[in-house]
């Protein structure tokens, strides 16, 4: 059975922990990278199907996440942090729709 992970600041992940998701609270780009490595510790062992990543740490993890973008069994979902949305999640959704459809249907 696949699991769901959440990488983000303590304030962001606490609500997800209450829902029973595996949370990885981080305070720096280095901690976010270590959490990502912990989630995907072996190439052949991928127990997580969904990984929520706080936008604050998403930029630092973009290279690591891109290695899994072609894997249909893993979804990365960017979520806003305590400071509010940075627009990265919206851009990721826009890019995914554009890739799936073949053109920009959102008008952005």
- The mean pLDDT of 38-48, rounded to a whole number, is 74
CATH number, domain of 67, equals 3.40.50.10580
**Beta strand 22-25 pairing with 48-54:** unpaired
pLDDT of res. 8: 95
Which token pair is 34? 């270590």
Report yes or no on 91 lying in a domain: yes
- Residue for token digits 């960017």? 78
Residue 106: CB partners within 8 Å, gap ≥ 6? 94, 97, 98
Establish if 108 belongs to a structural domain.
no
The answer to the question of residue 86 being in a domain is yes
**Does any domain span residue 50?**
yes
Domain that holds residue 71: 3-101
Task: List the structure tokens of 55.
Answer: 């936008």
Phi, psi of 76 (to 5 degrees): -105, 125
Q: With respect to residue 106, please indicate whether it lies within any of the assigned structural domains.
A: no
pTM over 0.85: no
């Amino acid at each position: 059975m696949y699991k769901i992970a959440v990488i983000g600041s303590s304030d962001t992940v606490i609500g997800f922990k209450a829902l029973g998701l595996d949370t990885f609270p981080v305070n720096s780009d280095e901690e976010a990278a270590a959490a990502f490595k912990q989630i995907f510790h072996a190439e052949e062992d991928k127990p997580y199907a969904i990984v929520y990543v706080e936008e604050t740490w998403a930029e630092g993890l973009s290279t690591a996440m891109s290695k899994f973008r072609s894997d249909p069994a893993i979804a990365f979902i960017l979520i806003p942090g305590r400071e509010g949305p940075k627009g990265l999640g919206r851009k990721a959704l826009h890019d995914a729709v554009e890739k799936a459809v073949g053109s920009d249907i959102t008008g952005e």
